[in-house]
Amino acid sequence: MKWEVIRAGWEAWRRHPVTAVPFVLQGLSVIAVLLLIFLGVVYAIMPELPGVILSGKISKKPEEIIGEVFSRIAENIELISLLFILWLMLVTAVTTLFKAWWIKLCDNALECVANLQLAFQHAKSRFFPLFVYELIFAIITAVAFYPIINLAVEIFENLETISKETEMIVYYGISFLLWTVLLAILVATLSFLFTFVPYAIVIDGERTISGIKKGIKVLRRNIADTVIMWLLVGLANMAVQIPYYVLKPLGVWGTITGSIVAVIIGWVVAMPITTCWWVELYKWKSKTI
Amino acid sequence: MRPLGVTILAILGFIGVIGCFAVAGIFAVFGQYIPPGELGEAAPLVSLLMTVGSFVFVVIGLVNLVIAYGLWKGASWAWWIYLILLALGIVSSLFMLPQGGVGMTQGIIGIIINGIIIYYITRPHVKEYFGV
């Protein structure tokens, strides 16, 4: 069965390279939103920073300027948190629309009728239920992030005291590590539990709650296949990183080129193929329910 | 009938399980005896970290146990998971190659061992045993 899913995904991508378009556009949009919010933060807390960098003053007194940046961040932590929430909402909205688009496009590609415009029309009609689901996911993750942010703020505010005492470094280092591990476990568990939810919402036209129920039902009946598919997707994502590690020894330019090549291969090759795998697996398994 | 190589791989898996549980035990025991000394306030956290480490090894051990059992019984899912983990091993070994020195040697050994096992488990008689 797995060979058929793998082959179907590969064939769908090979015959319809257009499936890569939503992934590329989504990547670029997320970068644009990130830049926009970053520039917003800089403008709000330290509008003179771009001028300082462009005039080369930063190289004359780097410690002083970096110290000033840190203290401005500490002073405006509420504003930064607010902008972070805004960024989270914007990215969730953008990602949702593109996710619905690429799921439908891959679904169509598997049926040999991939059409960007038709898939986008369908994606728009599925935006709201998928957005509610993504928002639920993002809120749970953001709540789990809260202790880490709190800890980071505490470290930030007492940086001078902490850096002088080994005991404090160990204390905060381990606390940070433990919270990060817990957060990673939570996100991995949720991602696994809700593996098929977006596919149920987009492909079968389910509402948010019925989509969550159906997604979990499909997962419960196919745990072994889902674990294998996650591992395969992990393998594909790791393989995508190879150019980065190959070019890294060449220095800064090698690292930059390697990163860009890895990202492009991820958007154009790995993500469309792995999405086709998930869609094919979902369609196959949801038939029996 | 189970191929000899699969039996050996399953037994090695079971040995790995014992190893994981042993390390988990060591972590759990040492975690209870962290002297406050220089660590002061951080001592309970170091102890907690050791406990978490112990838990992680128990989880890895249990995953190994399930895979080794699946190999022993000839389950197709075990073949798939094992194959993907071996492939992941090759990719992570590839990442070690540019490091040079010991890292490079470890990477080459990893590629060779994982490659040989992948070659073996993809032979027709082994695939037939797993029904894949």
Q: Which of residues 93-112 of B touch A (CB under 8 A)?
A: 94-95, 97-98
How does the average pLDDT of chain A come out, rounded? 87
Residue A243 has what pLDDT?
Answer: 86
Pick from A178, A200, A221: which residue ends a domain? Answer: A221
Pair (A190, A117) in one structural domain:
no
Tokens of A224: 């072994």
Answer whether residue A170 shows pLDDT above 70. yes
Q: What is the pLDDT of residue A21?
A: 95
- Looking at the fold, whether A107 and A176 belong to one and the same domain comes out as no
- Residue % of chain A over a pLDDT of 70: 99
Q: What is the pLDDT of residues A276-289, one digit of tens each?
A: 999 999 999 888 77
The answer as to whether A8 is a domain residue is no
CA–CA dist B127, B2 (Å, integer): 11
pLDDT on residue B103: 83
B55 vs A: CB within 8 A: no
Residue ending a domain, choose from A193, A221, A249: A221
Distance from CA of B73 to the nearest CA of A (A): 15
Query: What number of residues does chain A have?
Result: 289
Q: Give the whole-angstrom CA distance, residue B33 versus residue B61.
A: 24
Greatest mean pLDDT among A86-90, A264-268, A284-288, B46-50? A264-268
Closest by Cβ to A174, choosing from B38, B49, B95: B49
Q: What is the pLDDT of residue A181?
A: 85
Considering the domain architecture, whether residues A119 and A55 belong to the same structural domain is answered as yes
Asked whether the predicted pLDDT for residue B28 surpasses 80, the reply is yes
Report pLDDT digits (tens) over A239-264.
998 888 888 888 888 889 999 999 99
A95/A30 same-domain check:
yes
Same domain, A102 and A157: no
Based on the fold, state whether residues A78 and A163 are members of the same structural domain: no
The number of C-beta contacts closer than 8 angstroms across A and B is 65
A154 touches A161 (CB < 8 A): no
Q: So what's the pLDDT on residue A104?
A: 95
Tell me, yes or no, if B91 comes closer than 8 A to chain A by beta carbon. Answer: yes
- pLDDT over threshold 70, residue B44: yes
Q: How far is CA A228 from CA A110, A165, A224, A274, in A?
A: 21, 46, 6, 12
Selecting from B41, B48, B88 the residue whose C-beta is nearest the C-beta of A178 gives B48
- How much is the average pLDDT of B33-57? 76
Answer whether residue B42 shows pLDDT above 70.
no
Q: Specify if A216 maps to a domain.
A: yes
Judge whether residue B5 has pLDDT over 90: yes
* pTM (predicted TM-score): 0.82
Number of domains in chain A: 3
CA B106/CA B89 separation, integer angstroms: 11
* pLDDT band at residue A46 using 50, 70 and 90 as cut-offs: confident
- Decide which of A164 and A217 is more confident: A217
Indicate if the pLDDT at residue A41 is higher than 90: no
CB of B131 within 8 A of CB of B75? Answer: no
Q: Is the domain of A120 the same as that of A31?
A: yes
Q: Are residues A36 and A85 in the same domain?
A: yes
Q: What percent of chain A has pLDDT over 90?
A: 47
Task: Give me the residues of A, 208-267, that contact B with CB < 8 A.
Answer: 224-225, 227-228, 231-232, 234-235, 238-239, 241-242, 245-246, 248-249
CB contact, 8 Å: A32 with chain B?
A: no
Domain boundary among A198, A221, A244: A221
pLDDT-derived band at B71, boundaries 50, 70, 90: very high
Residue-wise pLDDT for A108-151, tens only, equals: 999 988 889 999 999 999 999 999 999 998 888 888 888 888 88
Domain boundaries, position A114: 19-125
**What are the angstrom distances between the C-alpha of A103 and each of A29, A65, A112, A276?**
18, 46, 14, 8
3-state secondary structure chain A: CHHHHHHHHHHHHHHCHHHHHHHHHHHHHHHHHHHHHHHHHHHHHCCCHHHHHHCCHHHCCHHHHHHHHHHHHHHCHHHHHHHHHHHHHHHHHHHHHHHHHHHHHHHHHHCCCCCHHHHHHHHHHCHHHHHHHHHHHHHHHHHHHHHHHHHHHHHHHCHHHHHHCHHHHHHHHHHHHHHHHHHHHHHHHHHHHCCCHHHHHHHCCCCHHHHHHHHHHHHHHCHHHHHHHHHHHHHHHHHHCHHHHHHHHHCHHHHHHHHHHHHHHHHHHHHHHHHHHHHHHHHHHHCCC
Confidence of residue A173 (pLDDT cuts 50, 70, 90): confident
ipTM over 0.85: no
Q: Would the CB atoms of B84 and A235 count as touching at under 8 Å?
A: yes
Residues 131-190 of A with CB under 8 A from B: 166-168, 170-171, 174-175, 177-178, 181
Please give, rounded to a whole number of angstroms, the shortest distance from the CA of A45 to a CA of chain B.
35
Q: What is the pLDDT of residue A270?
A: 94
Shared domain check, A48 and A107 = yes
How much of chain B exceeds pLDDT 90, in percent? 62
Q: Is residue A142 part of a domain?
A: no
pLDDT band, very low/low/confident/very high, at B58 (cuts 50, 70, 90): very high
Which chain B residue shows the shortest CA-CA distance from A222?
Answer: B77
Q: Is B62 on the interface with A (CB under 8 A)?
A: no
What pLDDT sits at residue B95?
Answer: 85
Nearest chain B residue (CA) to A224: B77
pLDDT over 90 at A75, yes or no: no
Determine the Cα–Cα distance for residues A29 and A37; give it in Å rounded to an integer: 12
